[in-house]
Chains A and B, each alone.
Chain A
Amino acid sequence: MASAPATLRFPHRHLLAIEGLAREDIRLLLDEAETWVETGRRARKHDGRLAGLTQVNAFFEASTRTLLSFEIAGKRLGADVVNLMAGQSSLKKGETLLDTALTLNAMRPDLIVIRHDQSGAVALIAEKVACPVLNAGDGRHEHPTQALLDALTIRRRKGRIEGLTVAICGDILHSRVARSNFHLLTTLGAQVRAVAPPTLMPAGIDRFGVTPVTTMDEGIAGADVVMMLRLQLERMDGAWVPSAREYFATFGLTEARLAHAAPDVLVMHPGPMNRGVEIASSVADDIQRSAIAEQVEMGVAVRMACLDLLTRDRRAEAA
């Protein structure tokens, strides 16, 4: 796959969602990310192009891996990375989200990475700050860098995305990962199935250009990629599903069930996994078929590409 010329611009100020991105925008991000995969595999991983820029990771919802990934990505590019976590923030003291945004903005960051548990909260903050904003997950809405890293993983393993059959399985109703992946994979021409029990299948899902399927065996039949979603264990409380035992029996990805998929199926999971709930350990740990560790690696590369592309105009002005 040809690498994009360095002069190509990402034509958006922020990265708030995959919905609305053109095929070319997504390809540009993936092509750029591809080059950072190599950087990450060197002994010396540093590239100083963001030197002097301040990157704030404002996480209003708990996260370990996404925060770490953004921090590593920023540091590899030479940015001054600062983390703000909800537990320590003044939001706990009753400050409104917009006041927090204005406070952050007054510190003149060059890029803000935001995670929030409310859909739309990241876009709301983006309206009030003077720098690019990167959505690291807002409520059930979108998690664009997750979809990008998933796409990069698939593209590297399969050589393409167009024409592949991808089954996204599990708690689709509450999943921002699923929504971002629907937009991205359908934009790039994959055949996407939304596989969930009827209680966890959102309304109007067919309008996303994906095929809803309510049984696992049918959902993954012949699939080239099976992407499992995390089931929040508190879903048992709201009568969404009866029990972890029954969920694993009906929707858990086991060796036996995976035999319905394509022989060279790729198994993915955004993490953190509930082993024995949505995925069997033997499947998760199968190095031939599971790309779960690789997804984490691609996450850093994709985030480096996003940080680089979103700050290019700013750096050009400074130069």
Chain B
Amino acid sequence: MTPPDLLIRDARLLDPATGQPQRGDLLVHDRSIAAIGSGLAPPESGQTVEAGGRLLLPALIDSCAFRTDIAAALAGGIATTLLMPDQVPPLDDPALIERAERLGKPRLWVRPLAAATRRLEGRELADLALMKEAGAVGVATGRAALADSAVMLRLLRYAGGLGLVTVSHAEDRALTAGTVATESEMATRLGLPAAPAAAEALAIGRDLRLAALAGAPLHIPCVTTAEGVELVRAAKRAGADVTAATSPPYCLLSDTALAGYRSFARLSPPLRTEADRVAVVEGLADGTIDMLASRHDPRTSDEKRLPFADAAPGDAGAATLLALGLALVHAGHVALPRLVDALTLAPARRFGLPGGRLQPGAPADLLLLDPDAPWRISADTLPGLSGNTPFDGLPVQGRVMLLVKGGDILLKTGGAQ
């Protein structure tokens, strides 16, 4: 059933394609944006939301999550999630791709990434063409890099031939085996097994070279080091078909967050040094790093309340993605249009998704945002499956007032009338 028409009046519309906010109204009809302008007439049947000059964006497209967590996504203003193939079982079969997509409905667009290899074991290619047909929007190596360079080259060639972007986790397998931190003073003080940060550059360097050899598109889903940013920057300058993403912890925290063995700060890749953090923020600001992703990975307290090295890696990042991204904007490190692009249009373009635009004909996946509204991140009350955030207690700004997916209002808070 088609939802009733919707008019959002008096908003600051920010279309990431132009990057220029403009005051106006937006009309939704038949699950799409029907019109944008000023003084649009209210629909004959349907409802009107007074935006009061708040920011209207395309709903967020989270380019990397490890779990389908609808409540967390909605709270974070996310209407589309790219789901990594590390599921139980791994997404290595067309039926599993279809099922993963279905599990989000009707409230979340889940766009699965196909497992690169059967059972993600890194040996035989999975049925990538069949999975593409079933709805996979890309192909991914999952939480770990593909250790075998020959398999990686064939993957890039094969996936490239299908028009699929290969999403390759960038950490050298041998260097990082058995480690839980970045080689640094902090890891030494804590006595944690650690790998050099160059494990990332080694992997990115290899994959860039193999992707060039294959003439295939490559996406690095989580760049976390200064050297990694520089490699991507140089490759782009040289015209490589490469994109990259990072995640808020790598923009806002360094490995000092591990003090006291806080297992909520046990992430994969691990937190880096302050110099790396600064370089990652710069990379996001200048577009070297195209996207900002949640890497949403809810973990139960049973998986986290363990000695640091035994604790499961990952953080629940979906509900805080936007607010933490805005922290970079409020601090003056990243321009608002760049952040919005990183959270919407950049992933849409790379993975061929319909959203990410504010223009007539685009899907009515919309987000009305009060970018200044203050709140405090709390692990205990974080929406979603689990509250394992390394940002517990952090005051942030930016509240979702209204979330629309395909013309349906999914979330509406007090401020939006």
B184 at the interface (CB under 8 A from A): yes
How far is the CB of A46 from the nearest CB of chain B, in Å? 37
Which residue of chain A lies nearest to B187 when distances are taken between CB atoms in the complex?
A203
Say whether, besides A123-B261, A124-B261, A203 and B306 are in contact (CB < 8 Å): no
B124 within 8 A of A: no
Q: A96-B302, A123-B261, A203-B185 are in contact. Are A118 and B307 (CB under 8 A)?
A: yes
Flag if B188 contacts A123 (CB, 8 Å). Answer: no
> Is A75 interfacial (CB-CB < 8 Å)?
no
A273 contacts chain B at the CB level, 8 A cutoff = no
> At the interface, yes or no: B310 with Cβ under 8 Å from chain A?
yes
Q: How far is the CA of A118 from the CA of B193 in the complex (A)?
A: 10
Q: Is B385 an interface residue (CB 8 A)?
A: no
Q: Is B310 a contact partner of A123 (Cβ separation < 8 A)?
A: no
Name which of A30-38, A139-147, A300-308 contacts chain B.
Answer: A139-147
A19 and B189 contact, Cβ closer than 8 Å, known pairs A96-B306, A119-B308: yes
A142 CB → nearest B CB, Å? 7
Given contacts A124-B261, A124-B307, contact A119 B192 (CB under 8 A): yes
Q: For residue B189, which residues in chain A have a CB less than 8 angstroms away from its CB?
A: 19, 179, 204, 208
List which A239-280 residues lie within 8 A (CB) of chain B. none
* Chain A: number of interface residues, binned into ranges: 20 to 34
Q: Are B309 and A203 in contact (CB under 8 A)?
A: no
Q: Does B244 contact A (CB under 8 A)?
A: no
Q: Are A203 and B192 in contact (CB under 8 A)?
A: no
Judge whether A119 and B190 touch: CB under 8 Å. yes
When A97-B306, A124-B307 are in contact, do A119 and B191 touch as well, CB less than 8 Å? yes
CB <8 Å contact, B185 and A116: no
Complex Cα gap A208–B188 (Å):
10
Closest residue on chain B to residue A201 by CB atoms? B188
Known: A97-B306, A98-B305, A204-B185. Contact between A176 and B261, CB under 8 A?
no
B194 in the interface, Cβ–Cβ < 8 Å? yes
**Complex contacts, A104 vs chain B, CB 8 Å:** none
**Contact between B190 and A141, CB atoms less than 8 A apart:** yes
CA distance A271 to B185 in the complex (A): 27
Asked if A28 is an interface residue, CB under 8 A from chain B, the answer is no
Residues of A120-157 at the interface with B, using a CB-CB cut-off of 8 Å, are: 120-121, 123-124, 138-142
A179 touches B191 (CB 8 A): yes
B260 within 8 A of A: yes
Interface assignment of A205: CB less than 8 Å from any CB of chain B: yes
A-B contact count (CB 8 A): 70
Asked if A207 is an interface residue, CB under 8 A from chain B, the answer is yes
> Which A residues are CB-close (under 8 A) to B172?
none
A residues near B302, Cβ cutoff 8 Å: 96
CB pair A123–B191 under 8 Å, yes or no, is: no
* Residue B69 lies at the interface, judged by CB distance under 8 Å to chain A: no
Of the candidates A96, A124, A140, A207, which one forms a contact with B192 in the assembled complex, judged by CB atoms under 8 Å apart? A140
Are A120 and B308 interface neighbours, CB within 8 A?
yes
Contacts of A139 in B (CB 8 A): 191-192, 307, 309
Q: Are A120 and B194 in contact (CB under 8 A)?
A: no
Q: Across the interface, which residues of A come within 8 angstroms of B261, CB to CB? A: 119-120, 123-124
B276 contacts chain A at the CB level, 8 A cutoff: no
Task: Say yes or no: is B183 at the interface (Cβ < 8 Å to chain A).
Answer: yes
Q: Nearest Cβ in chain B — how far from A162, in angstroms?
A: 23
Residue of B nearest to A141 (CB): B191
Report Cα–Cα, A205/B194, bound state, in Å.
Answer: 14
| Chain B residues within 8 Å of A96, by CB | 302, 305-306
Residues of B within 8 A of A40 (CB): none
Interface residue? A202 (CB, 8 A) = yes
Q: Which residues on B sit within 8 Å (CB–CB) of A207?
A: 185, 188
- CB-defined contacts of B306 to chain A, threshold 8 Å: 96-98, 124
Bound-complex Cα distance A191 to B339 (A) = 50
A residues 75-127 with Cβ under 8 Å of B? 96-98, 116, 118-121, 123-124
In the bound complex, CA of A205 to CA of B191 (Å): 12
Q: Which B residues between 184 and 231 are near A, CB-CB below 8 angstroms?
A: 184-194, 196
Q: Hey, which chain A residues are within 8 Å of B310, CB to CB?
A: 118
Give the chain B neighbours of A203 by CB distance below 8 A: 183-185, 187-188, 194, 196
How far does the alpha carbon of A207 sit from the alpha carbon of B55 in the complex, in Å?
A: 47
- Return chain A residues, CB-CB under 8 Å to B187: 202-204
Inter-chain contact B309/A119, CB cutoff 8 Å: yes
Query: Bound state CA distance, A315 and B120, in angstroms?
Result: 58
A141 to B309, CA, bound (A): 12
Pairwise interchain contact B188-A116, C-beta atoms closer than 8 A: no
| Cβ distance A33 to chain B, nearest Cβ, rounded Å | 25
Residues of B within 8 A of A (CB): 183-194, 196, 260-261, 302, 305-310
Given contacts A118-B309, A121-B307, A139-B191, 9 further A-B contacts (CB under 8 A): A96-B302, A96-B305, A96-B306, A118-B307, A119-B261, A120-B190, A123-B261, A203-B188, A208-B188
- A selection of 18 A-B contacts at a CB cut-off of 8 Å is A19-B189, A119-B191, A119-B192, A120-B190, A120-B307, A120-B308, A124-B305, A124-B306, A139-B192, A139-B307, A140-B191, A141-B191, A202-B183, A202-B188, A203-B187, A204-B186, A208-B188, A208-B189
